[in-house]
Amino acid sequence: MDQQVDVVVVGGGSTGCGVVRDLARRGLDAVLVEKGNLTHGTTGRMHGLLHSGGRYAVSDQKSAKECIEENRVLRDIAAHCVEETGGMFVKRPEDSEEYFQEKLEGCRACDIPVEVLDGEEARRREPYLARDVEKAIALPDGAIDPFRLCVSNAADAREHGARIETHAPVTDVLVEDGEVVGVEVEHESGPGKRVHREPGTTEEIRARHVVNATGAWAGNVGEMAGVDVEVRPSKGVMTVMNTRQVDTVINRCRPKGDADIVVPHETACILGTTDEEVDDPEDYPEEDWEVDLMIETLSELVPALKDARTLRSFWGVRPLYEPPGTGTEDPTDITRDYFLLDHGERDDLPGMTTIVGGKLTTYRMMAESISDHVCDTLGHEATCDTAEAPLPGSESDARMEELMDEFGLRSPVARRSGQRLGSRADDVLGEYDPNPVVCECEGVTRAEVQDAIDDAGSDLNAVRLRTRASMGNCQGGFCTHRIAAELAQEYPESVVRDAEDELYQERWKGQRHALWGRQLSQAMLNHLLHATTMNRDGDPANLDSEVDFGAFDAGSPGGPAGASEGGESGTAAADGGRATDDATTDGGRAADDATTDGGR
Ligand SMILES: Cc1cc2nc3c(=O)[nH]c(=O)nc-3n(C[C@H](O)[C@H](O)[C@H](O)COP(=O)(O)OP(=O)(O)OC[C@H]3O[C@@H](n4cnc5c(N)ncnc54)[C@H](O)[C@@H]3O)c2cc1C
Question: What atom in ligand 1 is closest to the CA of residue 18?
Answer: 25
Residue 309 pLDDT exceeds 60: yes
What's the confidence (pLDDT) of residue 536?
83
Question: What atom in ligand 1 is closest to the CA of residue 39?
Answer: 49
d(CA 129, CA 166): 43
> Do 155 and 272 contact (CB within 8 A), yes or no?
no
Q: How many CB atoms lie within 10 A of CB 62?
A: 12
pLDDT band of residue 263 (cuts 50, 70, 90) is very high
What's the confidence (pLDDT) of residue 583?
33
Direct distance between the N- and C-terminal alpha carbons of the chain, in angstroms, rounded to an integer: 53
**Ligand 1 in reach of 319 Cβ (< 6 A):** yes
**Ligand 1 in reach of 213 Cβ (< 6 A):** yes
What's the confidence (pLDDT) of residue 474?
94
Q: Report in angstroms the alpha-carbon separations of 424 from 274, 342, 394, 410.
A: 38, 40, 9, 19
What's the confidence (pLDDT) of residue 580?
30
Which residue lies with its CA nearest to atom 41 of ligand 1?
Answer: 170
What's the confidence (pLDDT) of residue 413?
65
pLDDT band of residue 542 (cuts 50, 70, 90) is low
Percent of the chain with pLDDT over 70: 84
> Do 468 and 420 contact (CB within 8 A), yes or no?
yes
What's the confidence (pLDDT) of residue 414?
67
What's the confidence (pLDDT) of residue 518?
87
Q: Which residue has the higher pLDDT, 320 or 261?
A: 261
Q: What's the 209 CA to ligand 1 centre distance in angstroms? A: 22
DSSP-assigned letter for residue 545:
S
Residue 165 pLDDT exceeds 60: yes
What's the confidence (pLDDT) of residue 540?
66
Write phi, then psi, for 550 (nearest 5 degrees): -70, -25
What's the confidence (pLDDT) of residue 541?
59
Residue 379 pLDDT exceeds 90: yes
Mean pLDDT of 138-156: 90
Q: Sort 257 into a burial class: Cβ within 10 Å, 0-12 / 13-18 / 19+.
A: exposed
Mean pLDDT of 162-186: 96
**Ligand 1 in reach of 12 Cβ (< 6 A):** yes
**Ligand 1 in reach of 331 Cβ (< 6 A):** no
**Ligand 1 in reach of 9 Cβ (< 6 A):** no
Question: How does pLDDT run across 549-594, given as a tens digit for each residue?
Answer: 555 443 333 333 333 322 222 222 222 222 233 333 233 323 323 2
Question: How does pLDDT run across 34-60, given as a tens digit for each residue?
Answer: 998 888 999 999 999 999 999 999 999
What's the confidence (pLDDT) of residue 135?
98
**Ligand 1 in reach of 214 Cβ (< 6 A):** yes
Q: What's the 320 CA to ligand 1 centre distance in angstroms? A: 10
What's the confidence (pLDDT) of residue 575?
26
Question: How does pLDDT run across 473-511, given as a tens digit for each residue?
Answer: 999 999 999 999 999 989 999 999 999 999 999 999 999
Q: What's the 317 CA to ligand 1 centre distance in angstroms? A: 7
**Ligand 1 in reach of 167 Cβ (< 6 A):** no
Q: Which residue has the higher pLDDT, 130 or 146?
A: 130
What's the confidence (pLDDT) of residue 152?
86
Of 364-368, 383-387, 481-485, 507-511, which range is least confident? 507-511
Mean pLDDT of 381-410: 63
Question: What atom in ligand 1 is closest to the CA of residue 216?
Answer: 30
